[in-house]
Amino acid sequence: MSTPLIILIVVIILLILMYNSLVAKKNQVENIFASIDTQLKKRYDLIPNLVASVSKYMEHERSILEDITKLRAEANKPNISDNEKIKLDAQITSALGSIMIAVENYPELKANENVIHLQHTLSEVEEQIAAARRAYNQAVTDYNNALEQIPTNFMANAMGYTRKEVFEIPKEQRENVNVKELFAS
């Protein structure tokens, strides 16, 4: 076999490997986003129940309850982009956090079995979401790195891949002092 032919074969193999690794990275991001989506949906499904259980008592927090219902409706709309989902998730997380803290001011709610159940379920979903977010961020970082590093950047450019955004992880969650801790007793 002539040398140029060998070089050509090697180059083609390298290109295929590069192409496949980029596709694998993109799919990894999509796969993990799909599982975040499932977890987020699970959480959205808990919201109406939560609002119904607490609204009888929570007079001062009406606006948060309305907000969260609105946010949920928006998040459940079809055809919203991944970036929008990420943004909505952050808002819902913070709204849920304030409801959970507000519950502490109502002894009747704190003792309500239904509310306790919801709190536990929510905090478990929350932990799953936190884990999925971190997995997503790692996958996105790997993907973004491949987009910028030589030599995959040329290939990615040709394939029309663009950078993806990572989840902004709230500070409380980074330290993992989540809602669950508040209700541990």
Is 135 a binder of another protein (CB under 8 A)? yes
Cα separation, 149 vs 30, in Å, equals 21
Cα separation, 40 vs 21, in Å, equals 28
Cα separation, 22 vs 162, in Å, equals 12
Q: CA neighbours within 13 Å on the CB side: how many for 121?
A: 16
Output DSSP code: residue 169: -
Interface with another protein: number of residues (CB under 8 A): 21
Per-residue mark of binding to another protein, 160-179 (x: CB under 8 A): --------------xxx---
Q: Which is nearer to another protein, 55 or 134 (CB)?
A: 134
Cα separation, 86 vs 124, in Å, equals 19
Is 158 a binder of another protein (CB under 8 A)? no
How many residues in total does the chain contain?
Answer: 185
- Interface residue with another protein, options 127, 153, 159, 182 (CB under 8 A): 127
Is 59 a binder of another protein (CB under 8 A)? no
- Interface residue with another protein, options 1, 5, 111, 184 (CB under 8 A): 184
Residues 142, 28 contacting (CB under 8 angstroms): yes
In whole angstroms, how close is the CB of 184 to another protein at the nearest point? 7
User: Which residues make up the interface to another protein (CB under 8 A)?
Assistant: 28, 32, 35, 120-121, 124, 127-128, 130-132, 134-135, 137-139, 142, 174-176, 184
